[in-house]
Amino acid sequence: MTLSATNPLRIGTRSSPLALAQAEMTKAALIAAHGWDEAAVLLVPMLSSGDKVQDRPLAEIGGKALWTKELERALIEHEIDIAVHSMKDVETVRAGIFRIAAMLPRADVRDRLIGADSIAALPQGAKVGTSSPRRAAQLKALRPDIVTDSIRGNVATRLSKVVNGEFQATLLAAAGLARLGQGNIGNAIETSEMLPAASQGAIGIDCLVERTEIAALMVPINDLPTFTSVMAERAFLEALGGTCHSPVAAQAIWQGDILTLKGEILREDGSERREGAIAFNPDDVEAPARLARQLLDAASPELRALFEG
């Protein structure tokens, strides 16, 4: 495939500042890997449904698909060659015509707390802005007195809502803040206290399965430890079932020949929290499902219903 200013590789991206930063990272990685001219890669920004609707939680209006469907349509109609996603925004079960061809090296998977030094330091009855069922449940498991309410908008909007007192605190992904040059804002919450969302910190490059020539161009920028770990986390989510309303966390780490996957499921009010871990060879594709079954078997009927119902 010969690329040039008149025939560039077209990268589809959401038009938010964070999405554009992630697309620029992908563009830079491809140019460095292939020695292409700058003009051989073109960003194609798009406004997603998730960006258009800012007054309701995503879970109420369609979930993760709202971040990706415009980009998927553009792939199908050959308006773009690849799409760049935050992997935690990509639906677990997808149409077979798409493939995640590569992932960039994973960034910090932790959440950062904005508005207080720690979760323990939040005032009694603090109002925390989050639209994530996982974060809300984990906060309530740690601090049942905390009140959570939906908060939408880009990073700047969310930060402003804490500054103006609408919320006493909020939680944001450390990776996203770092990619916007704001990595020092707030305080990192260790994964031992709040396990992250599956795929958090990972950037994925999406293309059509039929575009094998495009997938081949992505091979040099694929970070295998990230790809393997994130795919294990996604397999865990798929085995659990559930919806975008179901509070779940997962993190896989590949060290040596062993992949260690930690998982957690919770009731929405934090009153029940089941967690576990499994260590396995990355070739053991059934291991994430075994961990999912272990957690569901240990859960109450009420918690299981959030995933199997």
Give catalytic residues, as residue numbers: 89
Query: How far apart are the C-alpha atoms of 91 and 23, rounded to whole Å?
Result: 19
Residue 47 CB-density burial (10 A; 0-12 exposed, 13-18 middle, 19+ buried): exposed
In 3D space, the residue among 261, 259, 262, 264 whose CA is nearest the CA of residue 298 turns out to be: 264
Helices and strands, number each (H, E), in the chain? 11, 13
Say how far apart CA 164 and CA 309 lie, in whole Å: 40
Tokens of 281: 């060879």
Residue with tokens 């773009």: 80
Q: Which residues contact 249 (CB under 8 A, 6 or more apart)?
A: 134, 138, 194, 195, 196, 197, 198, 263, 264, 266
In whole angstroms, what is the distance from residue 22 CA to residue 27 CA? 9
Joined together, the tokens standing for residue 171 give: 């939680």
